Structure 1
Amino acid sequence: MSVLIFVELEEGAIKKSSLEAIYYGSKVAEQTGTSVTALVLGEASADELTKAGRFGATKVLHAINARLNEANAMAYASAVAEAVQQEGTDVIVLAKSSLGDAVAARLAGKLKAGLAANVIELPETGTGFRVKRSIFTGKAFAVTELSAEKKILTIKKNTITPEETGASATVETFNPALNEADFALKITHTEKATGDILLPEADIVVSGGRGLKGPENWGLVEDLAKALHAATACSKPVSDLDWRPHHEHVGQTGIKISPNLYIACGISGAIQHLAGVNSSKVIVVINKDPEAPFFKSADYGIVGDLFDVLPRLTNAVKEL
């Protein structure tokens, strides 16, 4: 039961979520007594390919083709399917992401494979193949049994802590037969999120709502985020008012995140917002209204004026 990992790149570097997937795949391979192969599509440096080995891959297949530099779910799914056949793979692992979801769904159709999304633990393989998944936006768990010969798992972000194994991987060139039909959809423009730390990959997120009263006060959020080496986010009303760009909007209709720490500043905690953040491991809420709904979902709450609390909190972080 060999294991194949689909690796996502960001400007030629392996995403943190894919390192988690590689490490997860290596543990599945240990359970089943087999090897793990990482598949990298597009340009990546030798150092990045070596990194895949350090986090558990025994072999790296690298497809060096300029047409694969842009994320194309249809072409990627075809390439992964070809690698699965070449390697005799039974388990395919991807990071849970917008791209990972699109590739996994198409791949399941191509391979007639079973698919389990939002996986949070290693599978039980004693009798059958069962995985534990996060469902209902993190409010419940489900144990799903996959009976198909081919099994696809998408791993929820920040549920696996990757560790370097000190091992190395062999690197082989992979030349998938690209299907012109997969490129019928053309990517004409890509608008990427900006910032030192991208929101979907962040371990810590500091988020602001209408309690900040205006975009001119956003420096309070940015100062705390900088001190914590965190990403910044916002509630939907804030992005609707154009105080912050839409790609920072977290919630049911925005980005869904699962950082280790989520700090909500001046956000009431509407159910639509909670749907995007309640998978966070720890939630801290700062609000001057003690009746704010968000406090019911918080691990820690600070009742106070954020214009007083945030500068003091930022200074305390800097001192530490």
Structure 2
Amino acid sequence: MKKVLVLAEVRDGQLRNVSLEALTAAQALAEGGEIVAGVFGADAATHAVTLGQHGASTVYTADHTALAQYTPDAYVQALTQLIELASPDAVVLGHTAIGRDIAPRVAARLGFGLVSDVTGVEAGPVFIRPIYAGKATQTRKFVDGTTFITIRPNNIAIGAADPSKTAVVVPVELEIKDLRTIVKEVVRKTSGKVDLSEAKVVISGGRGVKSADGFQPLYDLAEVLGAAVGASRGACDADYCDYSMQIGQTGKVVTPDLYIACGISGAIQHLAGMSSSKVIVAINKDPEAPIFQVADYGIVGDLFEVLPLLTAEFKKVLV
């Protein structure tokens, strides 16, 4: 039996879904042992109930002014001290912007092993992760030492909450010093109301949208489906949208239940960011577009004609 520490991530006061996925992965790693969680920020204690219902027996909370916004210096110090306090056999984080940044820093500092971008955990434990832009999968296992894992969002099913379970809240005092950076203001550029990396439905546009205004039909459909809107690099390079919306090898990696590609040809760099989606629907005027080779369903047609029809039909069913 092992002790597993999960660093829960909070955005805009809300606990991110990937933190609950990390708790599910932690149960496989713990092998019947103890699961503890850590949360940073002023409202950290408010998430203890949810974390407890999903398997954490103890929740360490750290309220420090330097942790109000993410900075590598502050979070590296905080997580290092938390690990020294909890003495876990494994540490699990989400493979988010924060997780990708902090995990290798702390793992290197403490001499831990690290497996990143994990999409599955099997008995052993054995970790499954995609390689070669998603064309193949790799299985990895640690023979000895502390394990550091980052979990790709939307790949590990969240376990059912157990209302009978509660977590012990332990406030901890952390020493944060010698910071090289201080966040004075956060200006967000988002793709919509839904977090792109955790969205269950993603509607993405490419050069075929033709302009910034061409994204409006995508937003209309997204509003009906409760979806996030993304883009190919081509659309971003053409200045149709912000790069925060980019999906692909040099952008975000998404794994939604439904991915609708609109006016996207299907370059390998884009496929690397969305090919693991459970269901892919492609809309393109070119019947020879490479995107159709990976799509489960394809519509050969003008997206400006197809999307309004889809939106109208979905409104009849969902609204």
TM-score, structure 1 as length reference: 0.92
Cα distance between partner residues in 1 of 2:291 and 2:304: 18
State the match for 1:44 in structure 2: 43
Q: Deviation per CA, 1:112-152, whole angstroms, max 9, x where unpaired?
A: 11111122222422xxx432222223221111121231101
- Matched with 2:26 is 25
What CA distance in whole angstroms lies between the structure 1 residues aligned with 2:59 and 2:247? 34
State the distance in 2 between where 1:123 and 1:39 align. Answer: 24
Given the alignment, which residue of 147, 152, 156 partners 2:152?
A: 156
Question: Contact between 2:6 and 2:22, CA under 8 Å: does it hold in 1?
Answer: yes
How many percent of aligned residue pairs carry the same amino acid? Answer: 38
Question: Displacement, 1:188?
Answer: 4.5
* Structure 1: gaps of 5 or more residues: none
2 CA distance for matches of 1:22 and 1:44?
A: 20
Give yes or no for contact 2:207–2:238 (8 Å, CA) kept in 1. no
Q: Deviations over 1:222-277 (max 9, x none)?
A: 11111110000112222222221221121222222222221100111112221222
* Counterpart AA for 2:240: W
- Which is worse superposed, 187-196 or 2-11? 187-196
1:273 to 266, 270, 282: 270
Matches within 5 A, 1:16-165: 16-29=17-30, 32-44=31-43, 46-125=45-124, 129-162=125-158, 163-165=160-162
Report the more deviating stretch, 5-14 or 161-170: 161-170
In structure 2, the residue corresponding to 1:122 is in which secondary structure?
strand
Structure 2's unaligned 5+ residue stretches are: none
**In the alignment, which residue of structure 1 is the partner of 2:6?**
5
Q: Secondary structure at the match of 1:268?
A: coil
Change (3 A) 1:84 1:123: farther
Q: 1:175 aligns with which of 157, 173, 176?
A: 173
* Residue pair 1:118, 1:135 contacting (<8 A) in 2 also: no
Q: Which residue of 2 aligns with 1:306?
A: 303
TM-score, structure 2 normalization: 0.92
Whether contact under 8 Å (1:114, 1:147) holds in the other structure is no
Q: For the structure 1 residues 45 and 78, does the alpha-carbon distance in structure 2 shift closer, same or farther, using more than 3 Å as the test?
A: closer
Indicate the larger mover: 42-51 or 224-233.
Answer: 42-51
- Residues 114 and 148 of structure 1 are in contact (CA less than 8 Å); yes or no, is this contact kept in structure 2? no
Deviates more, 1:205-214 or 1:46-55: 46-55
Mapping of residues 138-287 of structure 1, within 5 Å: 138-162=134-158, 163-166=160-163, 167-178=165-176, 180-181=177-178, 183-194=179-190, 195-287=192-284
Contact 1:117 1:154 in 2 (8 A): yes
How far apart in 2 are the matches of 1:115 and 1:71? 21
How far residue 189 of structure 1 moved from its aligned partner, in angstroms, is: 4.3
Question: CA contact under 8 A between 1:137 and 1:279: conserved in structure 2?
Answer: no
Aligned alpha-carbon RMSD (Å): 1.7
Q: Which amino acid aligns with 2:220?
A: D
| Counterpart-to-counterpart distance in 2, 1:119 and 1:152 | 11
**Number of residues of Structure 1 aligned to a counterpart in Structure 2:** 313
Q: Go from structure 1 to structure 2 and tell me whether the alpha carbon gap of 1:271 and 1:122 turns closer, same or farther (over 3 Å shift).
A: closer
- CA distance in 2 between counterparts of 1:152 and 1:266 reads 39
Q: Residue type matched to 2:299 in 1?
A: I
Deviation, structure 1 residue 95: 0.5
- Find the residue that maps to 1:89 and give its secondary structure: coil
